[in-house]
Amino acid sequence: VKAAIVAVGSELLGPGRPDTNAAWLAERLERLGAEVRMRCLVADDEAAIAGAVIAAAAQSGIVVVTGGLGPTEDDRTREALARAAGVPLERDPDRLERLRALYASRGRTLGPEQERQADRPRGARFLENPVGSAPGLIVALGGARVAALPGVPAEMTAMFEAGVAPEVSALGAGTIVRRLLRVAGRTESSVDVQLRDLYDAVGVEVTILAASGSIDLILRARGADVSQARARLEAVEGEMRRRLGADLYGDDDVTLAAVVGGNLARLGRTVATAESCTGGLLGGELTTVPGASAWYRGGAVAYANDVKVLAAGVDPARIAAHGAVSEEVARAMAAGIRERLGADYGVAITGVAGPSGGTPDKPVGLVHHAVADRRGSAHVELRWPGDRALIRRRSVVAALDLLRRRLMEG
């Protein structure tokens, strides 16, 4: 069954108030086997809500609306549903009595504004609210069922589970399972070309996303039940894993830093960092991993040339000969920090993050990364477009990936 989500709330349209209800509902609907095809946000405005609900219902079997069911004047969802369905809004006498009793039990009286919570479009069904006062509504609109729930997240989730989830499962849509595969050291297009022929597998949808230096593949498999969905997922996932080999660094929520840290911990080895243009971001990323103290020695932010000498032990003659942004200096920083901090691995980054400071020879976005160990050092040079923040983030990913690959070599 196709599903749509309409979040009502003028405050959600501006910055600062994320629509977390829709994110939660999308995940939940998917797990119940519904295919979320549309998500929209509308202001607290009757015509806007009615328009959104009509558009959503025209292409869905189930529409979930959140917000705008409270007692205040700006709560317009009831009126909008009546308008969308072309039916009058009616006050339900039984519901009014129950609201009165509910308010009385809390020592409050039901004013004319609160009485609106007993209104429903003709033919609509109320959905009980075990947590708050505003009931939800279920309205038929063409071939779609529209379920309207309050905006308060705790009320919305409780009412969805109790009143809407069983109906979605009953629509017999089966289930969806998903997997995230994470790739480093590759471009989006090269991954796309390598895997393209796998995108058409029956019941499996693949999305490829580039995320600052790393690539995410999102696999969603549909099946009549969990075991069928899993079997479909695993067939595609297994082949992708085989083709991607060492470029695949993990799945689902794992980060590159956590993978590197896990490998260091397993091998009983340590790492130290020397960073120029990333100014400590690499050390920061490594220390996001709990337990990093077992394998991260520390590092130097070696920004100025004389600090590269003082803190990372680079020979000044090397900087004079090749420049601070060079393969030679990156390798020297990695070897120097490794030795000074007594680590098994040294990792270094030196580059031009911009927006100024680039030359024809060494343009903005040129970054050298190096990893040193007792066998010697590895180096990778990357030239990336992008702004300063993006270049710095990608450099961290590239350095972590260089270390990860060195660790895999033993």
Under the rule (CB under 6 A), what is the footprint of ligand ATP? 7, 9, 11-12, 17, 19-22, 66-70, 75, 134, 150-153, 155
Nearer to ligand ATP, 43 or 332 (CB): 43
Distance, CA of 345 to CA of 296 (rounded, Å): 10
**Torsions phi, psi of 64, nearest 5?**
-110, 125
Nearer to ligand ATP, 82 or 341 (CB): 82
Structure tokens at 87: 């039916």
Q: Which of Mg ion, ligand ATP, none does 153 bind, CB closer than 5 to 8 A by kind?
A: ligand ATP
What are the CA-CA distances from residue 372 to residues 155, 199, 289, 333, 376 (Å)?
A: 55, 39, 22, 9, 6
Residue of the chain from 67, 135, 150, 203 that contacts Mg ion (CB under 5 A): 67
Structure tokens at 372: 């040193």
**Min separation Cβ 107 and ligand ATP, Å:** 21
Is residue 387 within 8 A of residue 354, CB to CB? The reply is yes
Is residue 119 within 8 A of residue 91, CB to CB? The reply is yes
**Min separation Cβ 160 and ligand ATP, Å:** 12
Q: Is 150 in the site for Mg ion (CB under 5 A)?
A: no
Nearer to Mg ion, 41 or 380 (CB): 41
Is residue 203 within 8 A of residue 232, CB to CB? The reply is yes
What are the CA-CA distances from residue 152 to residues 7, 23, 161, 234 (Å)?
A: 11, 14, 14, 38
**Min separation Cβ 78 and Mg ion, Å:** 13
Indicate the pairing of strand 62-66 with strand 271-275. unpaired
Q: What is the x/- site pattern for Mg ion, positions 290-329, by CB under 5 A? A: ----------------------------------------
**Min separation Cβ 34 and Mg ion, Å:** 24
**Min separation Cβ 49 and ligand ATP, Å:** 11
**Torsions phi, psi of 403, nearest 5?**
-65, -45
Q: Which of Mg ion, ligand ATP, none does 69 bind, CB closer than 5 to 8 A by kind?
A: ligand ATP
Binding site for Mg ion (CB under 5 A): 9, 67, 151
